[in-house]
Homo-oligomer: A and B are copies of this chain.
Amino acid sequence: MSQTTQSKRITPRAEDYSRWYNDVVLEGRLADYSPVKGCMVIMPHGYAVWENMQRALDGMFKATGHRNAYFPLFIPKSFLAREAQHVEGFAKECAIVTHSRLRAVEQGGRTTLVPDPESKLEEELVIRPTSETIIYSMFAKWVQSYRDLPLLINQWANVVRWEMRTRLFLRTTEFLWQEGHTAHATTEEAEAAARQMLEVYATFAEQHMAMPVIRGLKSESERFAGAVRTYCIEALMQDGKALQAGTSHNLGQNFARVFELKYQTEDGREEYAWNTSWGVSTRLVGALVMTHGDDNGLVLPPRLAPLATVVVPIWRTEDMREKVLGAARDVARRLLGAGVSCHVDDRDTLTPGFKYHEWELAGVPLRIELGPKDLDRGEVVCVRRPDRAKESVPLGALETRVPALLEEIQQQLYRSALARREAATHEVDDYETFVRMLDEPGGFLLAHWCGSAECEARVKAETRATIRCLALDQPEEPGRCLVCGGSSPKRAHFARAY
């Protein structure tokens, strides 16, 4: 936005990781604070990243047979109350609409607006914190027979959860997300559907975000309010804290029962349907920042970067300027023709160094420098954002080498993140070491757990670490619970988390 303000210094990660994150989000112009407590503004650069995420995910949802629809923002209070665990989970943090009109009144000599008592609603409405209740009440209307199943629906929407402590993208009162909701004829089918979408999320995280994730099952205490089983993908941030990046729930018949979502079977019986729901949110933008960003700002993986390449032309004299600018525009035209997004930074009043800094801050994966000497040699200099590695590319090879370089950056980012996670994952067998390692170096601690809620709660109360998940690919390995010494069939992923 503002072209005139110099960007502030980015706090180095080693100095204060939390401030570094805020600096990168704000100075990288992904988001800004809003005048509404707990809500943020997603700025154009941040929204463009979200749009790219949406496009990729939406394609994957459609390829697996889901169709988009849209359900009301408002949920009648009584709907939320029907599923006991669900209301328990959401009633304490929801925005409640009570009136439909403001009225001007005189107060202390001046006019203020107050909710008009005459417009008080008969039944209060809750702004959706999630839409199971309203959606399954509609499904009950739409489904009659086994022929209507499976019903595979997705919604892109905003939701509101009244959070006390908010962080840009990671935890905001209002956020954008998608929520998939499906109904099936059998429990097996619902379970397979929940697992399928977990795999879709994991594939998206790894192949598009270049962010390795653990696919796992949540413990009972971390389960979604109203679910029978909650699957999740968990990622590890650079500061050694985990981040839940997506969840997929097998809801069993919990919602079907309370909303009378029934179907007639092929042999004429009446049965409740089986549901799944699954969601990812704008939180993923925060995850992206914390997975790849560095002390110079954002680092965006090419597949999600709004701008993949930027050409910075370099000149000293007016003569050179014309020649170099012409060549730069030609480079951009050719890359665009090859399907690579490209912008020429032709601003006259800024030095190349200043431009490098700015585009690094914005996370553009590949910078293309082009000066008179490069032109004479018939080449450009390509600089990779993650490690600033340079490479001269002959002009004739632009259309082949630049896409290949972007693909290399994408892979490089994934490999770095994976190596970092592997280096930060440790098996721990005694509680004392566990507590010490949580502080330093952090990361995923693989420890045995007997399965009891008590032991889990004790760890959380004493260390702020939680069981992030029981990894699906965790090998069987009998052991002794970290806390009580009871028997454990395999290790769980523990970590402090966002």
Contact = CB atoms under 8 A, between A and B. Distances in A.
Most chain B CB within a 10 A radius of its CB, from A71, A76, A104: A71
Interface residues on chain A, size class: 35 or more
Interface stretch (A90-98, A208-216, A292-300, A395-403): A90-98
A43 B69 CA distance: 5
A72 B34 contact: yes
A486 interface: no
A68 B46 CA distance: 9
A142 interface: yes
A67 interface: yes
Q: Identify which of A97, A104, A115, A124 gathers the most chain B CB atoms within 10 Å of its CB.
A: A97
A472 interface: no
B69 A145 contact: no
A176 B96 CA distance: 21
Interface string A21-49: 00000000000101110011111100110
Contacts of A74: 36, 39, 95, 174
Nearest to A155: B47
A73 B160 CA distance: 9
Contacts of A419: none
A127 interface: yes
Nearest to A70: B42
Contacts of A423: none
A134 B97 contact: no
Interface string A117-152: 000000011110000001001100111110110010
Given A100-B93, A115-B98, A142-B2, A44 B71 contact: no
Contacts of A13: none
A5 interface: yes
Nearest to A104: B91
Nearest to A4: B145
A73 B81 CA distance: 24
Most B C-beta atoms less than 10 A away, residue of A41, A42, A145: A41
Interface of A: 1-5, 32, 34-36, 39-44, 47-48, 50-51, 67-77, 79-81, 87, 91-104, 112-113, 115, 124-127, 134, 137-138, 141-145, 147-148, 151, 153, 157-158, 160, 162, 174, 176
